[in-house]
Amino acid sequence: MTEHLLPRSKPEDQNIIPQAIEQFIIAIEAAGLNMHSFMLLRHGYVVSEKWWPTHHPDEPHALFSISKSFCSTAIGMLADDGLLSIEEPVLQYFPDHMTPEIESNMSSLLIRHLLTMTTGHSEDPTNLIRNTQDGDWVKAFFETTIEEAPGSRFVYNSGATYLLSAIVQKVTGQTLLDYLRPRLFQPLGIENATWESCPMGISCGGWGLNLTTEDIAKFGQLYLRNGVWNGQRLISEEWIEEATSVHISTSAMDGIDKQQGYGYQFWRCQFGGFCGRGANGQFCIIMPEQDVVIAITSDEKRMQAILDIVWEKLLPAIE
């Protein structure tokens, strides 16, 4: 479906030194990093793309936690439409789950705290939620204990993103996947998106989305263009500015790029950029100052090593 593909260009035509891209790939392979795919965009053009054996351009790839950035986008669309406010208490969307104990524990938890992973949990409750016997992950989330004041500290929390997905479904009557299909996926020409669901049929939100490398790049380009795609505004510039700004310190995290701060399900990274990032080396990197998007899929635990080579080899070659 060529009408859904991003335009292509030579690197030199977009003021990128071609040899630097070769050096990037050589360095990735010399380091033994298990990359699956790489795509580099500048000024809206794909200037370089590569798939390592046995991967190919049409292959849907597990995005892991890049899924979170898509979930955040849905919340932003609902906020733009006036259908929710991120300052609202989470519990108001789940009156059927309310008990005195849950109300006492969770009454101060706001949608904003889910977005910024500042729920007040001392550790990620996701495994506890996923392993609950009755399959009701929302109930299991509410039954976990909040030890600290919401908003006070960043603790990585995929369960918080799952709850955002559950809120989308409460507000719209649709799963997160079905809600985003006409509003995001179809305008971007993203076909055959799939999203893992919980036993109750709620999209997992924080993980489970499968898309191609080019789909990741399109999403990055939408954010680079402040929410406009082919002249159509899909999400407000105000939301994108808010979602990709630092709202909480992440200085205690491992790896310098994880220490740059967290927005609404987006990480800030070095050199003025921000990204969606997922386990085992999935990246959607947006560099506004350079007008660049980089999409990467891999099966690699050494995620900072990938970013180090991006900054060392690619960034200086972008004029």
Determine the Cα–Cα distance for residues 274 and 83; give it in Å rounded to an integer.
27
Q: What is the mean pLDDT of residues 122-144?
A: 97
Determine the Cα–Cα distance for residues 238 and 256; give it in Å rounded to an integer.
28
Is 16 a residue whose pLDDT tops 60? Answer: yes
pLDDT averaged over every residue in the chain: 97
- Cβ-proximal residues to 76 (8 Å cutoff; 6+ apart), any chain: 235, 236, 239, 240, 243, 264
Q: What is the mean pLDDT of residues 173-182?
A: 98
pLDDT in tens, 246-256: 999 999 999 99
pLDDT in tens, 255-291: 999 999 999 999 999 999 999 999 999 999 999 999 9
Q: What is the mean pLDDT of residues 208-230?
A: 98
Is 240 a residue whose pLDDT tops 70? Answer: yes
Determine the Cα–Cα distance for residues 2 and 85; give it in Å rounded to an integer.
39
Is 104 a residue whose pLDDT tops 70? Answer: yes
pLDDT category, 1, cuts 50, 70, 90?
A: very low
pLDDT category, 3, cuts 50, 70, 90?
A: low
Is 2 a residue whose pLDDT tops 90? Answer: no
The reported pLDDT for the residue numbered 4 is 84
pLDDT in tens, 30-75: 999 999 999 999 999 999 999 999 999 999 999 999 999 999 999 9
User: Which of 193, 201, 194 has its CA nearest to residue 162?
Assistant: 201
Tokens of 302: 């050494």
Q: What is the mean pLDDT of residues 162-189?
A: 98
Report whether 70 contacts 184 (CB < 8 A).
Answer: yes
The reported pLDDT for the residue numbered 94 is 98
Is 198 a residue whose pLDDT tops 70? Answer: yes
pTM of the model: 0.98
Tokens of 266: 């987006």
**What DSSP character marks residue 240?**
H
The reported pLDDT for the residue numbered 70 is 99
The reported pLDDT for the residue numbered 214 is 98
Tokens of 296: 């990467």
Report whether 126 contacts 159 (CB < 8 A).
Answer: yes
- pLDDT over 90 percentage in the chain: 98
Return the SS3 of 311. helix
Q: What is the mean pLDDT of residues 112-134?
A: 97
Report whether 275 contacts 266 (CB < 8 A).
Answer: yes
pLDDT in tens, 71-84: 999 999 999 999 99
